[in-house]
Amino acid sequence: MTSKFSPLRPAWSALTTTSAIITPAIVTTAIAVSTLAAPSGALAQEADPQAVITIGSLYEPQNLDNTAGAGQGINEAFNGNVYEGLFVLTDEGDVEPRLVEDYEISEDGLTYTFTLKDGVTFHSGDPLTAADVKSSIERVTAEASASSRKRTLATIESVETPDDRTVVVTLSEPSISLPYNLSYVWIVNDAASDISNSEDGTGPYELQEWRRGSALSMVPFEEYWGEAPDNGGVMFRYFTDATAQNNALLTGGVDIITSIQSPDALSQFTDNPDFTVSEGASTTKELMAFNDRVEPFDDPQVRAALARAVDNGRLLNAIWGDYGTLIGSFVPPTDPWYVDLTHVNAYDPDSAREMLAEAGYPDGFSFTLDTPDYDPHPIVAQFLQNELSKVGVDVQINIITANEWYTKIYQQHDFQATLQEHVNHRDIVFYGNPDFYWGYDNPEVTQLIADSERAESTEQQTEMLTEANRIIAEDAASMWLYLYPQIVVSAANVTGYPVNGLNSQFFVADIEKTQ
């Protein structure tokens, strides 16, 4: 897929992706879709068409297992809908109990005792037990797990199950974020051996059918322990082209688009009484990640010089017009440790040239930028190529697929620099992991992030992570280009959908459609 670059107005001819990163939002790939027939079964044949919600999305999962690099799309479709955790991160950013009835923390902060809700069953009919919770936590922390949250659960020393409703988690050291981190752990029936193409969760919906490259349909689970959904089922329709997705909404082929991808597309729906445009809070960051292990990107001065050479404001305007936000670091405003750091290594090409000369590169240098093949990355890559050429840095753009990105960049760390979008909430912790794909290794930051988990209060945790955020920005650990806007568009008769983009989750149970 290619896009013609314009410094003023990009062409949006091919959009897919995912989070891009990071598992569980790692990278998605979508198979081309032409015409879509509704899946067979109850959703298509028995439900009232007015009660079925059709959602247009560019983020098809690679598989259905969020510990196996399934991508942003699996969070969007399954998180809170098909699978539930002991806790849930709400659309407002609060952490609330979900499958937990109650819990206690020992005085030393090392033991959490969870009492599970009674009467919860999996879609297969098996009852929820403590053994399921134990095996689900161990799925995420297993050596083979690709979950980006695995490291945040590394303090778990043991998980014990004294009875079917009690789970005792013992930690090697206190972890103030344990309930938050457990919201990323889907509780899966321990009898389910392979969930890459099937599921067995406790959520309000069960999977009906997944047609790769086309659609994924879910129907209400009749034995759900909580409140029944307000609709008769949900179908995610997958597109590899944003224009086709927008046309589907305009013509009634879908009821909602979970995230509009360009201001050009948005103009079709604003001031049109047939549609509702809602802007929420995003956690999706577009960045150029350096491989901080290799020259010259192991030098913070070089990284800072490149950051000063790029006019992020002009880039954001070229991509998003009046939408989106400049943030100056990896931390979006929805995180408690956000501070405005846009002044750090702000646009200053003269300073960039001086810093490059001081670092030993008076004539610049050349590097390869591995770029995912879906928009906006090729457009962003060409913008960066143009900007950096002005300070003598030659950027060779290497277009790769989402699957290649996952293998080459995320797994093998075989790159100099890359573009990616990261969707996760509170993910500054990745900069405290020197083994993460970008290889940032500042012992002070690593210690601050580790110590923040042992904090005695959320205020102390926030203070530590705010300081870590400042250091990471001053080190120019990556080049944070902009924060995506989060814009959901629906038909005017559709209500009850979430509007924030926290971790790309999209709770569907409250969505309903009127005549």
**Domains of the chain, each with CATH number or no CATH:** 42-82+203-281+487-513 (3.40.190.10), 87-182 (3.90.76.10), 285-483 (3.10.105.10)
Cα–Cα dist 456/448, whole Å: 14
- Residue 429 gets which letter from DSSP? G
Cα–Cα dist 262/379, whole Å: 12
- Spatial strand order of the sheet with 111-116 comes to 100-105, 111-116, 166-171, 156-163
- Residue 241 gets which letter from DSSP? -
- pTM of the entire predicted model: 0.76
How many residues comprise the chain?
Answer: 515
> In which element (H, E) is residue 159 found?
strand 156-163
Q: N- to C-terminal Cα distance for the chain?
A: 39
DSSP reduced 3-state for 218: strand
DSSP reduced 3-state for 124: coil
**For residue 259, how many C-alpha atoms fall within 13 Å in the half-sphere facing its CB?**
31
Q: Which pLDDT value is given to residue 132?
A: 98
Find out whether the peptide bond into 24 is cis, omega within 30 degrees of 0.
yes
Cα–Cα dist 492/255, whole Å: 9
Cα–Cα dist 147/103, whole Å: 25
Q: Which pLDDT value is given to residue 40?
A: 39
Q: Which residue has the tokens 């809908």?
A: 81
Cα–Cα dist 333/202, whole Å: 32
> In which element (H, E) is residue 153 found?
none
Provide CB contacts within 8 A for 42, sequence distance 6+. 208, 219, 233
| Neighbouring C-beta atoms of residue 228, cutoff 10 Å | 11
* CB distance 308 to 352 below 8 Å: yes
Residues paired with residue 167 on neighbouring β-strands, in sequence order: 114
DSSP reduced 3-state for 449: helix
- The crossing angle, in degrees rounded to 10, of helices 349-358 and 300-308 is 160
Cα–Cα dist 323/313, whole Å: 11
- The crossing angle, in degrees rounded to 10, of helices 312-320 and 377-389 is 150
pLDDT in tens, the chain (515 residues): 222 222 222 222 222 233 333 333 333 323 333 333 344 334 444 456 568 999 999 889 888 988 887 777 888 999 999 999 999 999 888 899 999 999 999 999 999 999 999 999 999 999 999 999 999 999 999 988 888 778 889 999 999 999 999 999 999 999 999 999 999 899 999 999 889 889 999 999 999 999 999 999 999 999 999 999 999 999 999 998 888 999 999 999 999 998 887 777 788 898 899 999 998 888 889 999 999 999 999 999 999 999 999 999 999 999 988 889 999 999 999 899 999 999 999 999 999 999 999 999 999 999 999 999 887 899 999 999 999 999 999 999 999 998 899 899 999 999 999 999 898 888 899 999 999 999 999 999 999 999 999 998 899 999 999 999 999 999 999 999 999 988 999 999 999 999 987 778 899 999 999 87
Cα–Cα dist 462/48, whole Å: 48
Residues paired with residue 490 on neighbouring β-strands, in sequence order: 256, 276
Q: Is 308 exposed, middle or buried (0-12, 13-18, 19+ CB in 10 A)?
A: buried
Return the structure tokens found at 122: 């999996």
* CB distance 435 to 148 below 8 Å: no
Cα–Cα dist 168/208, whole Å: 34
- Identify the CA nearest to 333 among candidates 425, 260, 259: 425
Phi then psi for residue 196, to 5 deg, are -75, -25
* CB distance 86 to 97 below 8 Å: yes
Find out whether the peptide bond into 376 is cis, omega within 30 degrees of 0.
yes
Cα–Cα dist 379/389, whole Å: 16
Return the structure tokens found at 263: 């201001």
Q: Which pLDDT value is given to residue 146?
A: 82
Residues paired with residue 57 on neighbouring β-strands, in sequence order: 238
Cα–Cα dist 58/241, whole Å: 7
Q: Which pLDDT value is given to residue 378?
A: 94
- Identify the CA nearest to 131 among candidates 147, 116, 143: 116
Return the structure tokens found at 278: 């809602």
